[in-house]
Amino acid sequence: MTANTNLERRVAEHYASEPQLRAPDRVLHAALASIETTRQRRGLLAPWRFAYMNAYTKVAAAAVVAIAIVALGLWRFGGIGTTGPSPTPIPSPTPIPSPTAALSASQPPPPTGTFTSNMHGITMSFPTGWAVTEATAPWTTLELAGFGDTAADFIYDEGLDDGHLFLEIASQPLAGASGPAWADTIVDEPCETSATITVDGAQGLLIACTRLRAMFWSEDRGYVVLLHRSPDEAWLDDVYDTAWFEGVLATVQILPPVIGTADTFVRPFDYVLPGAPVFDYGATEATYWEVRVPAYNNAGHPGGLIAQAIGGGRVDPCDAESAVLPLDPGPDSVIQYLRTIPELTVTNASDTTVDGRPARQATVTATGGGADCAELYLWGELTESFITDLELRLVVLDVDGEHVAVTIYGEPENPELPSLADAIIGSFQFAPTE
């Protein structure tokens, strides 16, 4: 305790002695410039129009549009940063009635924004000034999502009517199918015009009809990037043409699987996280390692995995200060221990293997909140209270004498998660004991 207190004091003094850090001015300027083109989330299709803007923001937004028009000229005709004819001087920022009206007579804005799809695992550039609505659910059907559906990301020109001009992004596992076979099964407008393409090194097809649809595939996942232009606004076909769409596709990057090592864990292990959906790290500590899916969290139904070196059970799991209850070697002793706790329901217990080691898995639900047992502390290791009133899957194994429990939360709410969790757990490779 004294050692801890001394080190805490040392850390506090260290921070106190650091010079005052000030953010460079560009940080605030860039953030404020970015919010000029960022719509607040008020429900999926809430309108955002010039009518809500004050005089300052009108001028600023008009300036963005004016600069975008000039930048576009550079992008399409010669490229930014290349030598060639002198560019048109940037006009003074003058308020104009509508960005779309200006652009309809001109060219599309350059793809200077960058979007990362946490659900679908790609990054790409998109036109300046367009708004983004992120997917909050996986794409699980063979039908392409309609504008505003939660299964796809939509990047759209909000200066037009909703659904008139947008890029749509979606992906799903190939589920054993070949890429071309998968592309064949996806339902969209009938169209026989297609060409082979390569997107970030992945083979695919560009299907050009009313909509321009790129379908490409990695080893185990198929991706769709689609450009929709409303037939009600014929000028869109000329401005947002195939060449423009190919320019956007050239910016696509498929996020690769993350190969990592939990090297601070008491039993270090290697693991592989899929590129889609994107996982992030809740914690990587000596006895606690957590990865989770931000897209699920943003959608209001969190999902992820927690690996814990449990250090035994508790004599009284309702008491945070209870003594540790040693458990016999082997994974089944953990399941047996859980069955002795009245506040837990343990079902579907079955054998499995992890890293070639015998393991047991079960569905566990804890009830909490009662007067006698407000919170449950299942594990001997100092840890937070166990998640209550939520169906969890628990996979338990014995790694050379250390019980490791993997808790998967959010499976019922996130239908893609069980197979993702199985793949992640299946990738675990524990370091040999020295």
Q: In the complex, what is the shortest distance from the CB of residue 277 to another protein, in angstroms, rounded to a whole number?
A: 13
Applying CB under 8 A, among 2, 42, 85, 185 the residue interacting with another protein is 42
CB of 330 to another protein, least distance (A): 27
Does 45 bind another protein (CB under 8 A)? Our answer is no
**Which pair of tokens denotes residue 267?**
């039993």
Please check whether residue 186 is in contact with residue 201, taking contact to mean a CB–CB distance below 8 angstroms: no
Measured CA to CA, the distance from residue 220 to residue 175 in angstroms comes to 7
**Alpha-carbon distance 219 to 366, whole Å?**
39
Q: Which residues 247-286 are close enough to bind another protein by CB under 8 A?
A: 255-256, 258-260, 264, 280-286
194 interacts with another protein by CB under 8 A: no
Return d(Cα 17, Cα 317) in angstroms, integer: 43
Is residue 266 classed exposed, middle or buried when 0-12, 13-18 and 19+ CB atoms within 10 A define those classes? middle
Retrieve residue 299's tokens: 């959608």
Q: Which residue from 112, 194, 352, 385 is in contact with another protein, where contact means CB under 8 A?
A: 385
Q: Is 143 in the site for another protein (CB under 8 A)?
A: no
Out of 2, 21, 321, 434, the only residue in the binding site for another protein (CB under 8 A) is 21
CA distances from 283 to 288, 353, 376 (A): 7, 25, 21
Nearer to another protein, 40 or 94 (CB): 40
**Residue with structure tokens 């679908």?**
120
Question: Which CB atom, from 318 or from 359, has the smaller least distance to another protein?
Answer: 318
Binding residues for another protein restricted to 363-382, rule: CB under 8 A: 382
* Beta pairing partners, 123: 116, 253
Q: Residue 320: helix, strand or coil by DSSP?
A: coil
The CA distance from 407 to 390, in Å, is 12
Give whole-number Cα distances, 29 to 25, 32, 36, 113, 167, in Å.
6, 5, 11, 16, 28
> Sheet holding 269-273: strands in order across?
258-262, 269-273, 429-430
| Residue closer to another protein, measured from CB, 184 or 316 | 316
49 interacts with another protein by CB under 8 A? no
Q: What is the DSSP string of 53-110?
A: --HHHHHHHHHHHHHHHHHHHHHHTT-TT--SSPPPPPPP----S-HHHHHHTS-PPP
Shortest CB 186 distance to another protein, Å = 29
Calpha distance 379→368 (Å, rounded): 16
Smallest gap from residue 285 Cβ to another protein (A): 5
The residue count for binding another protein (CB under 8 A) is 57
Q: Which is nearer to another protein, 278 or 346 (CB)?
A: 278
Q: What is the DSSP letter of 114?
A: E
Q: How far is the CB of 52 from another protein (least distance, A)?
A: 5
What does the per-residue mask of binding to another protein show for 301-340, with x meaning CB under 8 A? -------------------x--------------------
Three-state DSSP state, 39: coil
350 binds another protein (CB under 8 A): no
Q: What torsion do the CA atoms of 286, 288, 294, 298 make, to the nearest 10 degrees?
A: -130
What's the DSSP call for residue 382?
S
Among residues 41, 146, 315, 340, the one that binds another protein under rule CB under 8 A:
41
Q: Which one of the spans 38-46, 231-239, 244-252, 332-340 is the region binding another protein (CB under 8 A)?
A: 38-46
Residue 49 or residue 347: which is nearer to another protein going by CB?
Answer: 49
Supply the minimum distance, in Å, between the C-beta of residue 136 and another protein.
13
Q: Which residue stretch of 18-26, 203-211, 224-232, 397-405 sits at the interface with another protein (rule: CB under 8 A)?
A: 18-26
Q: Between 8 and 400, whose beta carbon lies closer to another protein?
A: 8
Q: Does 434 help bind another protein (rule: CB under 8 A)?
A: no
**Residue 22 interacting with another protein (CB under 8 A):** yes
Nearer to another protein, 38 or 196 (CB): 38
Q: Is the peptide bond before 317 cis (omega within 30 degrees of 0)?
A: no
Among 130, 240, 288, 379, binds another protein (CB under 8 A): 288
Rounded Cα gap, residues 391 and 383, in angstroms = 19
Q: CA 223, CA 197: separation in Å to the nearest integer?
A: 13
Closest-CA residue to 396 (of 336, 339, 332, 338)? 332
| Footprint on this chain of another protein (rule: CB under 8 A) | 3-4, 7-8, 10-12, 14-15, 17-24, 26-28, 30-32, 34-36, 38-42, 52-54, 56-57, 255-256, 258-260, 264, 280-288, 294, 320, 382-385
